[in-house]
Amino acid sequence: MDLKSKIILIYGPTASGKSNFAIKLAKKIKGEIINADSIQVYKELKILSARPFQKNYKNIKHHLYGFKSVKKNFSTGDWLKLAKEKILDIKKRKKTPILVGGTGLYFKALTEGLVDIPNIPIRIRSKIRFLHKKIGAKNFFSELVKIDPISKNFVEPSDTQRVIRAYEVKLFTKRSIYDWFKSTRSDYENDDFLKIYIDYPRFELIKRITNRTEDMIKNGAISEVKKFIKLKVPRIKTASKAIGIAEISEYLNKKIEISEVIEKISIKTRQYAKRQSTWGRGNMMDWNKIKSEDLNKFLRKI
């Protein structure tokens, strides 16, 4: 199996061993690894984001890890621009780009393109959210269908975030959000990619998540959160939503014991892993699903 001409994408739920597999693959095919995880971009969140430690890099170049301040905004569009630059640079040097992470939207943007919808003024967005709250989800959905009839084929009335987004885009741009999606294209052909989805048995993943949470606490997660709190990062920033910050903050405020911290972080991480798997099933049907026990077999075939 010759993979040198491909852009390799590796996706899977958190704690499924993506980083370790990517390093082994990179060693075999002279690859370089590009981060595709929205929390691992932040330099101040090394432990909580489960960023690969440099001692585990094994002389494999890693890109877009720990380079952004938690105080700065970093969008999918920002990531896509940098990822494309890294892919080009790696290919110029006759190496193989390997993108690895658990942020499904990053992979979707790379393989399908990113919708370039104009920024909608905050006053309009706030007004629409107020309307949704005032008339309720059912009536709001009816209003959406009136102004954007095709939306009823793509979004469920109960999906508040998408319903509001579809409404505001139609109101502001006069075009359905689904027309915007239709006209969006990737810079790459589908054949340019080898897409790997790591399929990990849930009961094993639960054990791995608990073990990893315990290791995080042992390796300095509490100290990391102490430093994070001192930075006074606004709650609206993506980094503030990283799993572990709220739970360890409770411990530091003497509201819960360390055993509860581990339990809460483990539960929240399991819930996140489930959402990642749900995303994968719904959006990655054309990806190569490889069971965790078959990863070494895959490596031997190369």
pLDDT, tens digit, for every residue of 140-153?
999 999 999 999 88
The stretches in the chain having pLDDT less than 70 are: 1-2, 56
Whether domain 7-115+186-200+277-301 has CATH 3.30.450.80 = no
pLDDT of 85 reads 98
Question: Which pLDDT value is given to residue 154?
Answer: 86
Q: What CATH number labels 204-275?
A: 1.10.287.890
**Residue 158 has what pLDDT?**
85
Find, among 103, 86, 68, 110, the residue nearest to 31 by Cα.
86
In words, the CATH class of domain 122-182 is mainly alpha
Phi, psi of 42 (to 5 degrees): -85, 125
Look at residues 132, 122, 172 and name the one whose alpha carbon lies nearest to residue 148. 172
| Under 8 Å between Cβ of 138 and 149 | no
How buried is residue 93: exposed, middle or buried, by Cβ count under 10 Å (0-12/13-18/19+)? exposed
In angstroms, rounded to a whole number, what is the distance separating the alpha carbons of residues 291 and 23? 18
pTM of the entire structure? 0.84
Interatomic CA distance for residues 20 and 33, integer angstroms: 11
- Rg of the chain over all Cα atoms, to the nearest angstrom: 21
Instruction: Give the pLDDT confidence score for residue 1 in this predicted structure.
Output: 60
Give the per-residue pLDDT at 35.
98
Q: Please report, for the chain, the start and end positions of each structural domain, with discontinuous segments joined by +.
A: 7-115+186-200+277-301, 122-182, 204-275
- Joined together, the tokens standing for residue 215 give 């290791």
In terms of Cα–Cα distance, which of 248, 284, 283 is closest to 268? Answer: 248
